């Protein structure tokens, strides 16, 4: 988990029954050493008084866009600039729509538009409203813009309905914001990450490959470096810049990736993350000259590539934590769990790649973390944010394995 000490956090509260939970959230954030300022919409004030949140945050609550006294103290632009993180919680369906539309007709939306800080939105609304196509489109718009959507949780709702739309619990909101501020939890650790596709040549001009862009793996490398790890990124052919502080090893084929991984895995490697989409097969013969067009069919003979992550997991210098990804188009959980066991992995990150918004080449992703204690869905978010969450989980797991051999149980889906 990251750290919030000395971080400035704005919470924009909008008018939903879950507004009362913000009192607890402020308490948690301040307990972590963060400074909190609150903006309340008019609707929010019908559920919780500004005085309550003022007492808890230790600062007057901001409510009006055009307020002479506020502008003399901290005006809306100063407020927006002050923030290291800007959270809207609970975010009603209306607030989500207004943020997606880029409205700026009240203090909350204006400050959200004016802030350079990362924006977090924790929706809370009736399940029917959450499932409405209009809300889904607004959430997608915000996600595409890099806004971090937190939750919502599913369960019984204040209106009596049951379904998704409950505000994520304050402790979990804190964890998501916290993960955004790396605490150098991997300082002194060595991490090897694979990313992107491999290319298996057929002849001098053709190859077998897949749609991996490397975005997921590069985001993981960035998050690991931000967390203080010595980070080695073994990358297939992709068009991405190397993240700061990361050592990049470029490869083309699965054979080269295998060799590079084995070179990089030694006794001081703590974590291996295989996010690369490695070709399972290569052409048995790589034709020395361009294959000529003869006949209506062409038969290629393919042979198996080495399974890199399996080799890593059984190597004598096995890292303490070996994390694989499973890209699946059907039976996600069964196939992912089968891979975790067959390949000797501690964790598998199951990725449903049948959807365009969460798999190959997308900017966003949604995965399921799966280990020997259970599984947990990590909801749709940017690949950068997901990478931070995954790296935070890995570092937690690494510190628990070094404290004891006990594994941290993953929360079961539906636990929240
Ligand atoms: O790169 P992006 O466009 O951002 O897309 C991200 C992603 C979809 C590629 C990523 O999220 C993902 O799911 N990566 C795993 C892709 C994959 O090939 O999965 P798999 O189920 O075929 O392989 C399972 C695991 O074994 C993976 O950790 C893979 O790296 C590893 N493997 C597979 C074959 C092989 N010969 N050697 C391996 O190490």
Ligand 1 atom at minimal distance to the Cα of residue 197: 1
Ligand 1: list residues with CB < 6 Å: 194, 196, 212-217, 254, 274-278, 280, 305, 307-309, 324-327, 339, 351, 353, 359-361
How far apart are the CA of 273 and the centre of ligand 1, in A? 10
Distance of CA 288 to the CA centre of its chain: 43
Res 158: pLDDT: 85
Res 184: pLDDT: 87
Ligand 1 atom at minimal distance to the Cα of residue 304: 36
Res 228: pLDDT: 95
> What CATH fold (topology level) applies to the domain 190-404?
Rossmann fold (3.40.50)
Res 188: pLDDT: 96
How far apart are the CA of 237 and the centre of ligand 1, in A? 14
Mutation to probe ligand 1, out of 254, 260, 276 (largest number of atoms < 8 A from CB): 276
8-180 and 190-404, same CATH topology: yes
CA angle, 348 as apex, 343 and 350 as ends, to 5°? 120
- Sign of the CA dihedral 213, 147, 114, 170? negative
Mutation to probe ligand 1, out of 208, 325, 352 (largest number of atoms < 8 A from CB): 325
Question: Strands, E, within 217-334: which ranges?
Answer: 230-235, 246-250, 271-274, 281-283, 302-304, 321-328
Sequence spans of domains, the chain: 8-180, 190-404
In the block, tokens 């914001």 appear at: 177
Res 72: pLDDT: 57
CATH class of 8-180: alpha beta
Mutation to probe ligand 1, out of 223, 254, 274 (largest number of atoms < 8 A from CB): 274
How far apart are the CA of 196 and the centre of ligand 1, in A? 8
- For ligand 1, atom 36, name the residue with the nearest CA: 307
Res 385: pLDDT: 86
Q: Where are the alpha helices (DSSP H) in 204-331?
A: 215-226, 254-264, 308-313
Ligand 1 atom at minimal distance to the Cα of residue 311: 39
For 129, other C-beta atoms within 10 Å of its C-beta total 18
- For ligand 1, atom 24, name the residue with the nearest CA: 326
Low-confidence residues of the chain, pLDDT below 70? 1-2, 68-74, 402-416
Structural contact between residues 39 and 81, judged by C-beta atoms closer than 8 angstroms: no
b vs e for 90-108, b when ≥16 Cβ sit within 10 Å of the residue's Cβ? bbbbbbbbbbbeeebebbb
Stated as kind and residue range, the H or E segment containing 78 is: helix 76-82
How far apart are the CA of 314 and the centre of ligand 1, in A? 18
How far apart are the CA of 48 and the centre of ligand 1, in A? 47
User: What residues are annotated to the active site?
Assistant: 159
């Amino acid at each position: 988990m990251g750290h919030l000490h000395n971080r400035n956090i704005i919470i924009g509260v909008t008018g939903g029954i879950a507004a009362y939970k913000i009192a607890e959230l402020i308490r948690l954030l301040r307990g972590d050493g963060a400074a909190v300022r609150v903006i309340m919409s008019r609707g929010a004030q019908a559920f919780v008084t500004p005085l309550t949140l003022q007492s808890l945050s230790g600062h007057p609550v901001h409510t009006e866009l055009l307020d002479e006294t506020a502008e003399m103290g901290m005006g809306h632009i100063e407020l927006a600039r002050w923030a290291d993180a800007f959270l809207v919680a609970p975010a009603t369906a209306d607030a989500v729509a207004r943020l997606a539309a880029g409205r700026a007709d009240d203090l909350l939306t204006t400050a959200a538009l004016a802030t350079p800080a990362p924006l977090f939105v924790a929706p809370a609304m009736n399940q029917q409203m959450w499932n409405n196509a209009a809300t889904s489109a607004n959430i997608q718009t915000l996600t595409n813009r890099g806004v971090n959507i937190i939750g919502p949780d599913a369960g019984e709702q204040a209106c009596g309905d049951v379904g998704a739309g409950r505000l994520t619990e304050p402790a979990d909101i804190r964890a998501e914001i916290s993960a955004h501020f790396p605490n150098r939890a991997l300082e002194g650790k060595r991490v090897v990450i694979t990313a992107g596709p491999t290319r298996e040549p057929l002849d001098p001009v053709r190859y077998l490959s897949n749609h991996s862009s490397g975005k997921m793996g590069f985001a993981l490398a960035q998050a690991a470096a931000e967390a203080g790890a010595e980070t080695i990124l073994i990358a297939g052919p992709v068009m991405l810049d190397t993240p700061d502080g990361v050592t990049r090893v470029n490869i083309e084929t699965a054979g080269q990736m295998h060799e590079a991984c084995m070179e990089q895995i030694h006794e001081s490697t703590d974590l291996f993350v295989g996010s690369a989409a490695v070709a399972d097969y290569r052409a048995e013969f790589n034709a020395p000259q361009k294959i000529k067009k003869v006949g209506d069919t062409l038969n290629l003979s393919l042979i198996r590539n080495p399974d890199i992550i399996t080799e890593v997991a059984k190597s004598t210098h096995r890292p303490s934590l070996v994390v694989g990804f499973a890209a699946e188009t059907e039976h996600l959980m069964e196939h992912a769990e089968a891979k975790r066991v067959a390949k000797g992995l501690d964790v598998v990150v199951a990725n449903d790649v049948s959807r365009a918004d969460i798999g190959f080449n997308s900017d966003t992703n949604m995965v399921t973390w799966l280990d020997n204690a259970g599984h947990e869905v990590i909801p749709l978010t940017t690949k950068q944010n997901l990478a931070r969450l995954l790296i935070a989980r890995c570092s937690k797991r690494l510190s628990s394995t070094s404290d004891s051999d006990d594994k941290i149980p993953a929360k079961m889906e539906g636990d929240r």
